[in-house]
Structure 1
Amino acid sequence: MDKLRDFLKSWPGRILLVLCLSPLALLGIESYFQGNVDPNQIAQVGEASVGLSEYQNAVNSRRSEILEQLDDASLLNEEVLHQQVLKGLIDRALLEQQAGKLGMTVSDETINRLLLQEDAFKDADGNFSNEQFSFFLRQRGMTKDQLFAEFRNQLSLDQLNASIVGTAIYPMKAVSQLIDLQLESRNVWLHRFDWRDYQQQVSISKADIQSYYDANKDSLKSNAMVDLAYIQLDPATIKIDEVTEEDIQRQYEAYKAETGVVDERQLSQILLTGAKAKERAESIKARLDQGEDFAKLAKESSDDPTGASGGAIGRFNPSVFGNDAAAVERALEGLSVGEVTAPIKTSFGYQIFKVTEDNSSQLPSMESMRAELIAKAQEYKRQETYADKVTAINDMAADGFSIEDIAQQENVSLKRLKDYRKENNTSVLAQPAVINQAFDEFVIQDQAVTSGIEVGSSTVWVQPSNYRPTKTLTLAVATAQITQILRQQKATDLALKDAKQVAAGIKTVADIGKQAVNFQNLGEITRQTTLLTEKERSLAFSEQAAANEVVALARKTEIGASVIVGDQISTESQSQLSDIERSQTAAIIRDNLGQDQLQDYLEYLRLVYKVDINEANMASAQGR
């Protein structure tokens, strides 16, 4: 399989998949079983039903799976998500009933055999463990009979699925032909005729416009639009207060907690209080510097009860010093065992500390990490301020404030988008989550400000107004659009006429230089070239050239018309795939053809079993 994966990453593999893969049936193997049928139905499928809670659970589960793969949650299209989940649940219900009708079932003996082979239920010796099996059931709140029922149902579905998907036939000869197509190459010359160069030669009459309008009236519809006012809050733009020493200290303590580092320094202190505390502290520090014993001086001079025992206060604990912790931390920084600090003014008085023991693991000093800690403190403040601001704006939106009032009160820039579209939206707020909120029925009706919508790293609030629903365009409104369509069509026809005249005059390579237009020599290309548009690529290999000649082909393309001249098509003599890889590729193709057959079979089942969707419950479940 590794070779197959490598193949699928290569250019012939990618092209093969693009050409052959069809959308897979979204049935999954997860169970969506409920203990009882939910009376709030989403859909009735034959004799079965899809319950509201079952549907919501499936939506939530699928949403979580998708969001794990998305960096930006606003890119999730909730409408498509709900449609896919509902289709999957209905498809499953159809297949379950058909499997029962066809008598596809699995015996208890078969289920027992499968459970005995399941590694999750085996003990250390590889034997089936009743204890582990019982624990599994308790975790899921199930009985053995319920588990067997789910297994039986799922295995019956697997049987039916295999009987449909496994019947697809795609012969090896066809696989080889398909792969060989991707290995074709030829020398190509190209000239493009741009339709815009012909538009001045085109005239559009009122009769032309009326005729087009009458024939295409149903497709000429306006786009649902609103005028959108919005504010956008980004953490990067949040102004924060200056970082304090306390903020830095908190980040340093957080760093130590994250890394599991514990400060094991043992300290002794001398505390001096009263009117002359500073002078006394300086005098004692001078005596310590001359070599006098710290414990002796603590017994003689310390105003703290710990002085009686030589000043010992145990392990350094910053929380004991409250707001003075940062100052004490700085004074102790870098001290070795036996060294003392200078007198430190704290809320207790003047204190002198001595490090008596240090069993700490290696820890970077706070000063050495200062730049990093400042950055962390700034980011923490920014995120904290941002979260508070998001909460405040959400509260104002819920209280009915207008977006103008919110922007003014929170000092956030108010922006506007005129003619904000529901379909084909290319604005700066084209994310599905924003569009869904902007066109929510209740939001439009109340012209309310939405709750915050996460867009990348920022949050957006929108307020729609001037809603214009989709409707068929009048002839007067559609005239400009129709005129442009007809002008491009007629100009393209003129471009194609010239392209065919040029193509008709080319039989050999020498004829290419005799034409009134200049050709671009693309050299040798394959079907995967990016030098040609999609339509040009299909044209480039559509016809073989005779020996010692070229073939000149003309066709309408995305930009007007193109003339493509090609010499003889050649195929690499030796395939890039081994026989095993060809067999594996054939299996992939057959499986996906089988999935197509499964979709056809499901369409047939929709004719056999009546499917009714409760639109009201669907709208409620989707928050509409």
Structure 2
Amino acid sequence: MDKLRDFLKTWPGRILLMLCLAPLALLGVESYFGGNTDPNQIAQVGEASVGLSEYQSAVNSRRSELLEQIEDASLLNEDVLHEQVLKGLIDRTLLEQQAGKLGMTVSDDTINRLLLQEEIFKDADGNFSNEQFSNFLRQRGMTKNQLFAEFRNQLSLDQLNASIVGTAIYPMRAVNQLIDLQLETRKVWLHRFNWQDYQQQVKISKSEIESYYNTNKDKLKSAAMVDLAYIQLTPANIKVNQVTPEELQQQYESYKQQLGVSDERMISQILLTGDNAKARADKVLASLKKGEDFATLAKQYSDDPTGANGGAIGRFNPSVFGNDAATVEKALEGLAVGEVSPAVKTSFGYQIFKVTDDNSSDIASMESMREELTAKAKEYKRQTIYADKVTAINDLAADGFSIEDIAQQEGVTLKRIKDYSKNNNTSALAQPAVIKQAFDEFTIQDQAVTTGIEVGDGMVWAQPSNYRPTQTLSLKAATPTITQTLRKQKASAMALADAKKLAAAIKTTDDIAKQPVSFQALGEINRQTPLLSEKERGLAFSKQAPMNGVVAIASATEVGASVLVGDHIETQGESQLSAAEKSQTASIIRDNLGQDQLQDYLDYLRLVYKVEINETNLANAQVR
């Protein structure tokens, strides 16, 4: 199986999957340890129902799974999410009823045997534990009979699912043919006729425009639009110029705390107060420089009670010094045991410190980390200001302030998007989450400012105005669109006519150079070449050429028309799959064909069992 996985990572494997794998049916099949159904209905399915709590739980679970796969939550389309989850729950309920109708059930002995194998019920020795089983039931608020019923229901569902999916047939011969297709190569020459080169030759009459309008009136609709005013805020928008010494000290203390380091320096001090404190401090420092004993001078000159004990104040604790902590920290920075600090001015007076002992770990000094700590302090401050501003804007929006007032009050740039579209939106705010809130019925009715919408690493607040609902366009309004459509159709037809004439003149490789247009030689390509568009790749291998000649194929394509000239198709080398891997590949293909059959079966069940959706409850659940 590992070899198969490796193969599926190669280009033939990826193409094989693209060709063969049909989208899996979203059954929403939960574990047989799922919860109970809320009596509030979302949908009635035959004689069963889909409950409100069941639906909301499934939505939340699926949303969490998707958010783990994408970084920007605003890219999640909530409407599609709700639609897929509801379909999955209805599909499950249909299959459950059909399994019961067909008499698919499982005996208690079978369930007992399976439960004995469940790891969650085993003790440390790998044996079934009645205590763990009882705890499980108690935590779930279930009885043994309820668990058996859920287990039996899930197994019956699995049995029906397997009986449908497992019946798909895909012969090995077809698998081999599919793999061989990916190994085909040929030399190709290409020339494209762009429809834009013909549009000046196109003439469009008024009657043609009117005829097209009358035929396609139901499709010619204006898009639902609003004019959108919005503000966008990210942490990067927040400017932080300076950080205080206290904020720097806070980051340093946080750094030491993360390392599990405490300051074990023992220090002594001499405090000088009064009007002549500075002069006295200078005198004490001069005595210390002469070699006099620090403790003796502390007893003689210090104005702090600790002077009686030689100035000893114990382990250094920044909190003791309050607002002076950063000043004292700087004075002590880099001092070895026995060294004395200069006299520093604090709110207490002038202080002289001496490090008498140091049992702390060897960590970087705050000064050596100043640049890093400053960056961290700025970022912490930026995030704090950002969070406060988000809260303030949300409060203003909730209080009914306009987007203009909010932008002015909070100093945020106000931006506008005219003709903001509900569908096919390509604006700077094309995220589904923003579109959903901008076109929310209550937001449009009140012309209110939305709550904050997470977009990337920031937030957006928007206020829609001038709502224009979808409506059929008048002939006058539709004329520019119709004219462009008809012009492209006619120009493409001209391009195709020239492409067919060109293709008819090419029989050999020598004929390619004789044509009035130049061809691009693509060299030897396979079905996965990025040099061709999707439609061109299909054309490139659609016809075989004679052994000593070429085949020229002309067809309408995305650009207008294309002519592809190809030599004889060759199959390069051998398949990368062994016999066992081919068998496993066939199994994958059959399973996915079975999923198609399952969808057909579900369509049949929708005819057998009446499905009614409670639109009111559904709408309320989606709002939540």
**Could you tell me the TM-score, scaled by structure 1's length?**
0.95
Instruction: Give 1:529's aligned residue.
Output: 529
Q: 1:138 to 1:259 in 2, by over 3 A?
A: farther
In the TM superposition, residue 31 of structure 1 has moved relative to its aligned partner by 4.2
Instruction: Give 2:497's aligned residue.
Output: 497
Provide the C-alpha distance between the structure 2 equivalents of 1:263 and 1:29, rounded to a whole number of angstroms: 57
Instruction: Give 1:245's aligned residue.
Output: 245
Counterpart code for 1:30 = E
Indicate the larger mover: 523-532 or 593-602.
593-602
Indicate the larger mover: 225-234 or 117-126.
117-126
Counterpart code for 1:516 = P
**Helix, strand or coil at the partner of 1:622:** helix
User: For each residue in 1:185-231, what CA deviation from the matched residue of structure 2 results, as whole angstroms up to 9, or x when unmatched?
Assistant: 00111111111112222222222222222222222111111111111
Provide the C-alpha distance between the structure 2 equivalents of 1:554 and 1:49, rounded to a whole number of angstroms: 55
Alignment of 1:109-508 (within 5 A): 109-508=109-508
Provide the C-alpha distance between the structure 2 equivalents of 1:15 and 1:614, rounded to a whole number of angstroms: 42
Counterpart code for 1:368 = S
Provide the C-alpha distance between the structure 1 equivalents of 2:132 and 2:44, rounded to a whole number of angstroms: 38
Indicate the larger mover: 203-212 or 167-176.
203-212
Contact 1:298–1:311 at 8 Å: present in 2 too?
yes
In the TM superposition, residue 529 of structure 1 has moved relative to its aligned partner by 0.8
User: For each residue in 1:516-539, what CA deviation from the matched residue of structure 2 results, as whole angstroms up to 9, or x when unmatched?
Assistant: 221111111111111111111111
Counterpart code for 2:388 = D
Q: 1:484 to 1:35 in 2, by over 3 A?
A: closer
Counterpart code for 1:586 = A
Contact 1:240–1:385 at 8 Å: present in 2 too?
no
Counterpart code for 1:47 = E
Contact 2:38–2:51 at 8 Å: present in 1 too?
yes
Q: 1:379 to 1:165 in 2, by over 3 A?
A: same
Indicate the larger mover: 401-410 or 575-584.
575-584
Contact 2:551–2:565 at 8 Å: present in 1 too?
yes
Provide the C-alpha distance between the structure 1 equivalents of 2:547 and 2:467, rounded to a whole number of angstroms: 64
Instruction: Give 1:618's aligned residue.
Output: 618
In the TM superposition, residue 98 of structure 1 has moved relative to its aligned partner by 1.8
Instruction: Give 1:3's aligned residue.
Output: 3
Provide the C-alpha distance between the structure 2 equivalents of 1:27 and 1:295, rounded to a whole number of angstroms: 82
In the TM superposition, residue 163 of structure 1 has moved relative to its aligned partner by 1.6
Contact 1:33–1:54 at 8 Å: present in 2 too?
no
Instruction: Give 2:591's aligned residue.
Output: 591
Contact 1:234–1:459 at 8 Å: present in 2 too?
yes
Instruction: Give 1:64's aligned residue.
Output: 64
Instruction: Give 1:50's aligned residue.
Output: 50
In the TM superposition, residue 110 of structure 1 has moved relative to its aligned partner by 2.5
Indicate the larger mover: 366-375 or 589-598.
589-598
Contact 2:500–2:554 at 8 Å: present in 1 too?
yes
Q: 1:159 to 1:36 in 2, by over 3 A?
A: closer
In the TM superposition, residue 141 of structure 1 has moved relative to its aligned partner by 4.3
In the TM superposition, residue 293 of structure 1 has moved relative to its aligned partner by 3.3
Instruction: Give 1:567's aligned residue.
Output: 567
**Size of the alignment, in residue pairs?**
624
Q: 1:602 to 1:351 in 2, by over 3 A?
A: same
**Structure 1 gaps, min length 5:** none
In the TM superposition, residue 291 of structure 1 has moved relative to its aligned partner by 3.2
User: For each residue in 1:170-196, what CA deviation from the matched residue of structure 2 results, as whole angstroms up to 9, or x when unmatched?
Assistant: 111111111110111001111111111
Provide the C-alpha distance between the structure 2 equivalents of 1:131 and 1:317, rounded to a whole number of angstroms: 52
Provide the C-alpha distance between the structure 2 equivalents of 1:594 and 1:307, rounded to a whole number of angstroms: 90
Q: 1:272 to 1:444 in 2, by over 3 A?
A: same
Counterpart code for 1:61 = S
Provide the C-alpha distance between the structure 2 equivalents of 1:573 and 1:589, rounded to a whole number of angstroms: 23
Counterpart code for 1:102 = L
Instruction: Give 1:518's aligned residue.
Output: 518
In the TM superposition, residue 243 of structure 1 has moved relative to its aligned partner by 0.9
Instruction: Give 1:78's aligned residue.
Output: 78
Contact 2:32–2:150 at 8 Å: present in 1 too?
no
Contact 2:32–2:151 at 8 Å: present in 1 too?
no
Provide the C-alpha distance between the structure 1 equivalents of 2:266 and 2:132, rounded to a whole number of angstroms: 49
Q: 1:28 to 1:404 in 2, by over 3 A?
A: same
Residue 539 (1) aligns with residue 539 (2): yes
Residue 98 (1) aligns with residue 130 (2): no
Contact 1:56–1:621 at 8 Å: present in 2 too?
yes
In the TM superposition, residue 78 of structure 1 has moved relative to its aligned partner by 0.8
Counterpart code for 2:45 = V
Contact 1:226–1:418 at 8 Å: present in 2 too?
yes
**Structure 2 gaps, min length 5:** none
Q: 1:136 to 1:181 in 2, by over 3 A?
A: same
Q: 1:290 to 1:104 in 2, by over 3 A?
A: farther
In the TM superposition, residue 28 of structure 1 has moved relative to its aligned partner by 4.5
Contact 1:225–1:467 at 8 Å: present in 2 too?
yes
Counterpart code for 1:53 = S
In the TM superposition, residue 466 of structure 1 has moved relative to its aligned partner by 1.0
Provide the C-alpha distance between the structure 1 equivalents of 2:609 and 2:430, rounded to a whole number of angstroms: 39
Provide the C-alpha distance between the structure 2 equivalents of 1:553 and 1:511, rounded to a whole number of angstroms: 14
Q: 1:181 to 1:353 in 2, by over 3 A?
A: same
Q: 1:432 to 1:604 in 2, by over 3 A?
A: same
